[in-house]
Each structure stands twice: as C-alpha cells, then as structure tokens.
Amino acid sequence: MNLLQTTTRVLTQASLETSLGTLLVIADNNALYLLDFVDDSKLEQKMTRLKKQLNATVITGRTAAIDLFEKELTLYVAGNLEQFTTPVTLLGTPFQQQVWQTLQTIPFGSTYSYAQLAHAVGKPTAWRAVAQANGANKLPIIVPCHRVINTGGALGGY
C-alpha cells in the first residue's frame, strides 16, 4: 500500500429542469461546486477541470446542497427570493474569488459595469481582468455574473 496515495473525493451531479433551461449542478453534501446550462459548449471542459482540480469522481444523484439550490431557484425565478443561501465553494485564484465575492454584493435588480466592478475590487484599471474573472464564474445565477454589463449598458461578450 502506498502511503502517499491520495483520496478521491466523490461529487454528485443532477440535472434540474427549470424555466431557465436544463441546469447541471455538481455538489457534495455541503456545497455546490459547479452550476451550468447543459447546452453550454464548454460544460464538459469545465467538468473535467473540476474533477482534476479536486481529484474527484462524479456520480449521479442528489445531495442536500442540490435540493436546497433547487428550492431556492424556484423561489428566485418566481420573484420570491433575492439572495441565495445555498452554500458554494468558489474555486479560483484569489483575484477571481474577490471578484466573485463582490458580484454577490450587487443588489438584486441592479447592475454594475465592468469598470464599476473593477473599482469595487480596488483595481479600477483592471476591467479586462474583472471581465475574465466574471466569465470564469462556475456558479452563475448564485454568483450573479449576469448583473454585470458594458459601460454603455449592453451585455458583455464574456
């Protein structure tokens, strides 16, 4: 037996049919790690990266975190919830995590420009880096990257 052998983490995935489309959610019992639309062309790549990053295998099933997210999403879409309480694990660089945490402070029904978001994270000239971090968000909806727009008011192309 190899004493340096690492343990493989087991994550659970579920497909959720929602009014927004079919979502794939990956979680353990404690938190969500990935949330994406099943028709995203990069979903397989994101899953592969997540499994490698966490030394994890993914099985199909349900967890408490997935069940809580599904309940909260239903309330959110119906306009009865403004902020999610589902626990999440943000996997990224310290800068990405800072951007994602700041995204969660944008009030429901409000938007920020990439420049405003860059200013909010203390890097007013780093709007391109902020846009890249926004686009690397693995938990859209919960971490509301959709609340960030171009300075002119249009959606960004991340």
CA-CA distance, 81 to 130, in Å (whole number)? 27
Determine whether 145 is an active site residue.
Answer: yes
The answer to whether 93 and 126 have CB atoms below 8 angstroms apart is: no
Taking CA atoms, 25 is separated from 55, 102, 140, in Å, by: 18, 22, 11
**Rounded Cα gap, residues 152 and 150, in angstroms:** 5
- Identify whether the C-beta of residue 22 lies closer than 8 Å to the C-beta of residue 13: no
Choosing from 24, 34, 145, 148, which is the catalytic residue? Answer: 145
- Asked if residue 120 lies in contact with residue 110, where contact means CB atoms within 8 angstroms, the answer is no
- Positions marked catalytic: 145
